[in-house]
Amino acid sequence: MAFSFIKKVFTFGPKPEEEQAPEAVEARVLESELEPHSREENLPVAADPVLAEEMETAGGPADDVGKDASVEELAEQAEALAPKEDDVSDVLPAEVQAGDMGLVPLSLLEAEAQAETGAPAESTIEDTLPAALPLQPGSGDRPEDEGGVAEVASVGETEEAPAAGLAAEADAEQEPIADPISPAAEEISDRTGEDDSSSSDPFAAPVLPKGFATGPTASEPVALVPPPKLSWFQRLRAGLARTSSQLTGQIAALFTKRKLDDETLQDLEDLLIQADLGVETAMRVTDTLASERYGKDVTGEDVSRIMASEIAKVLKPVAKPLQLDLSHKPHVILVVGVNGTGKTTTIGKLAAKLSGAGLKVMVAAGDTFRAAAIEQLKIWADRTKSEFIGTKLGADAAGLAYDAFEQAKAKRCDVLIIDTAGRLQNKAELMAELEKIVRVLGKLDPDAPHTVLQTLDATTGQNALSQVEIFRNVAGVNGLIMTKLDGTARGGILVAISAKHKLPVYFIGVGESVEDLEPFEAEDFAHAIAGLGQ
């Protein structure tokens, strides 16, 4: 038969005197196939988990496979005796190509088994064929038939009819043909003690490799562990980390082994002013420190505590909630500020909070100066399920504000938030536009806009002080939101602005995502900026 030539020319595995179980022999040959680059024979690759399983159970890879005969000798003999591999693949059905684990590797197994034991291998060609490819009786396809050619011919015959048809036409007396993975299946059922009588039944449930089980999938979904959620204070502290670490680092350096004297007090005052806290707050801190600790040893932490306490005193009066008068339907919030300070993003975050609380919100893209701002606001509106009103680029922003107010009224919106441009060709033009928007809204409701919110970018430092001055005069700003407190060392500016303008600070932003905007809390902010815990 076909394997007789292989057993003469290939010697696989350990020395013949070693008694080896056929499965172990098979496993070594398969191992050689799984590592084609390590084998001069260049056997077909059988990257199949079932084969890998066999390998493992047979004791792992055999390092000496194929080392007994010289490759050249083997090749010569093989060529003389064997049908060409091409011939085999020519006659194989497309789905059973030479090199597929179902045929050639197991043929080699058989050859090796014969070489080892001197007896015909138990594994036969039937074992190597798919169940849908039964052998034809009397066609030289029995193991005892002579020569590989006959065996190949039998495979060829099967190829002539569709596989399914062949299965249907199979002679009733014909022996059942084992599934190509039956050796593995048998081995597994041997190990598990299961009845293997079904291994040749094409309708039998597949035998799964070790470690798998049949049956419905686990009903309990695997619980995904969400990343630990940071509290707002933790996010605030993280956001203000640059401001606080710079401040506390400098304070600690200043007070290392020094008693509190006039010089250190002056140095501290300078340091606090440079940190944008403002002259007023800086003096409050140094005065309190002097009255409590003059002439004594002072640590950086002592200073941080006093600083936090004084900052909190400045901030408390301005840390107020944004009052919504919902009797207005809508309560109109006009958002103003220099371009890039975070107006559009903040509107999105506010809309998320309000609509999340069940209020009906409309957002109006009054920044007709910048196309991206209109698109950006539309995205926020979609995301927050808010009503959206926009107009074309360059259109009159006051006209849009008017339309928005009317539509928001008609739709019974609770809140209307209007975005505005932060940059026009010149400041006078910008201010004229803002004044017009306020005037137009006032025609529909003399109290509108009910809130004029200004966004301030913390990274601009001292510049934010004059921005408030300007917008307050033009648009009647009556509340502030400070953004971008994350990633800046200039967060102290909020203290200076609060001390100077005394305008309510409603929210602060420490990042771009929706949860990064939270109501302003004086104590939290003061502690975070001083690097202290809550």
> Residues annotated in the binding site for GTP, as ranges?
337-344, 419-423, 483-486
| Segment contacting ligand GTP by CB under 6 A, of 46-54, 107-115, 290-298, 480-488 | 480-488
3-state secondary structure 1-52: CHHHHHHHHCCCCCCCCCCCCHHHHHHHHHHHHHCHHHCCCCCCCCCCHHHH
Q: Which residue is nearest to ligand GTP (CB)?
A: 509
Pairing of strands 505-509, 517-519: antiparallel
Which of residues 360 and 484 has its CB atom nearest to ligand GTP in the complex?
484
Phi, psi of 61 (to 5 degrees): -65, 145
| Segment contacting ligand GTP by CB under 6 A, of 182-190, 220-228, 309-317, 335-343 | 335-343
Q: How far is the CB of 386 from ligand GTP (least distance, A)?
A: 16
Q: Considering the rule CB under 6 A, would residue 158 count as an interface residue with ligand GTP?
A: no
Query: Which strand (E) or helix (H) includes residue 166?
Result: helix 163-169
- Amino acid at site 504: P
Q: From the list 93, 180, 342, 492, which residue makes contact with ligand GTP (rule: CB under 6 A)?
A: 342
Find all residues with CB under 8 Å of 482, minimum gap 6, and list them: 455, 456, 457, 458, 464, 493, 494, 497, 505, 508, 509, 520
Q: Considering the rule CB under 6 A, would residue 48 count as an interface residue with ligand GTP?
A: no
| Segment contacting ligand GTP by CB under 6 A, of 178-186, 277-285, 336-344, 430-438 | 336-344
State the Cα–Cα distance between residues 284 and 27, nearest whole angstrom.
84
Q: How far is the CB of 532 from ligand GTP (least distance, A)?
A: 22
Residues 172-201: x/- map of binding to ligand GTP (CB under 6 A)? ------------------------------
Q: Considering the rule CB under 6 A, would residue 318 count as an interface residue with ligand GTP?
A: no
Which of residues 187 and 516 has its CB atom nearest to ligand GTP in the complex?
516
Which of residues 313 and 378 has its CB atom nearest to ligand GTP in the complex?
378
| Segment contacting ligand GTP by CB under 6 A, of 68-76, 111-119, 170-178, 508-516 | 508-516
* Contact indicator for 32, 65 with CB cutoff of 8 Å: yes
Q: How far is the CB of 377 from ligand GTP (least distance, A)?
A: 8
Name the CA dihedral angle for 233, 486, 498, 306, rounded to a multiple of 10 degrees: 60
| Segment contacting ligand GTP by CB under 6 A, of 9-17, 18-26, 129-137, 503-511 | 503-511
Which of residues 183 and 342 has its CB atom nearest to ligand GTP in the complex?
342
Q: Considering the rule CB under 6 A, would residue 14 count as an interface residue with ligand GTP?
A: no
Alpha helices in 173-278 (DSSP H): 182-192, 232-239, 241-254, 262-274
State the Cα–Cα distance between residues 391 and 393, nearest whole angstrom.
7
Closest CA to 416 of 323, 335, 477, 344: 335
Q: How far is the CB of 467 from ligand GTP (least distance, A)?
A: 11
Closest CA to 494 of 509, 478, 505, 506: 505
Which of residues 504 and 511 has its CB atom nearest to ligand GTP in the complex?
511
Q: Of residues 359-398, which lie at the interface with ligand GTP (CB under 6 A)? A: 367, 370, 373
State the Cα–Cα distance between residues 481 and 453, nearest whole angstrom.
7
State the Cα–Cα distance between residues 504 and 492, nearest whole angstrom.
16
State the Cα–Cα distance between residues 269 and 263, nearest whole angstrom.
10
State the Cα–Cα distance between residues 415 and 387, nearest whole angstrom.
10
Exposure of 223 by Cβ count < 10 A (0-12 exposed, 13-18 middle, 19+ buried)?
A: exposed
Q: How far is the CB of 359 from ligand GTP (least distance, A)?
A: 21
CA distances from residue 530 to 157, 191, 203, 381, 486 in whole angstroms, order as listed:
87, 68, 74, 37, 15
Q: From the list 243, 341, 386, 498, which residue makes contact with ligand GTP (rule: CB under 6 A)?
A: 341
Q: From the list 483, 495, 527, 531, which residue makes contact with ligand GTP (rule: CB under 6 A)?
A: 483
Q: Which residues participate in the annotated binding site? A: 337-344, 419-423, 483-486
Residues 24-43: x/- map of binding to ligand GTP (CB under 6 A)? --------------------
Residues near ligand GTP (CB under 6 A), total: 22
Q: What does the block give as tokens for 330? A: 């809508």
3-state secondary structure of 408: helix
Q: Considering the rule CB under 6 A, would residue 278 count as an interface residue with ligand GTP?
A: no
Q: From the list 158, 182, 281, 345, which residue makes contact with ligand GTP (rule: CB under 6 A)?
A: 345
* Contact indicator for 278, 496 with CB cutoff of 8 Å: yes
Q: Of residues 417-476, which lie at the interface with ligand GTP (CB under 6 A)? A: 422, 455
Which of residues 55 and 381 has its CB atom nearest to ligand GTP in the complex?
381
State the Cα–Cα distance between residues 525 and 507, nearest whole angstrom.
11
Q: Considering the rule CB under 6 A, would residue 281 count as an interface residue with ligand GTP?
A: no
Which of residues 188 and 336 has its CB atom nearest to ligand GTP in the complex?
336
Which of residues 43 and 416 has its CB atom nearest to ligand GTP in the complex?
416
Q: How far is the CB of 290 from ligand GTP (least distance, A)?
A: 36
Which of residues 108 and 421 has its CB atom nearest to ligand GTP in the complex?
421
Find all residues with CB under 8 Å of 63, minimum gap 6, and list them: none
Residues forming the site for ligand GTP (CB under 6 A):
337, 339-345, 367, 370, 373, 422, 455, 483-484, 486-487, 509-512, 516
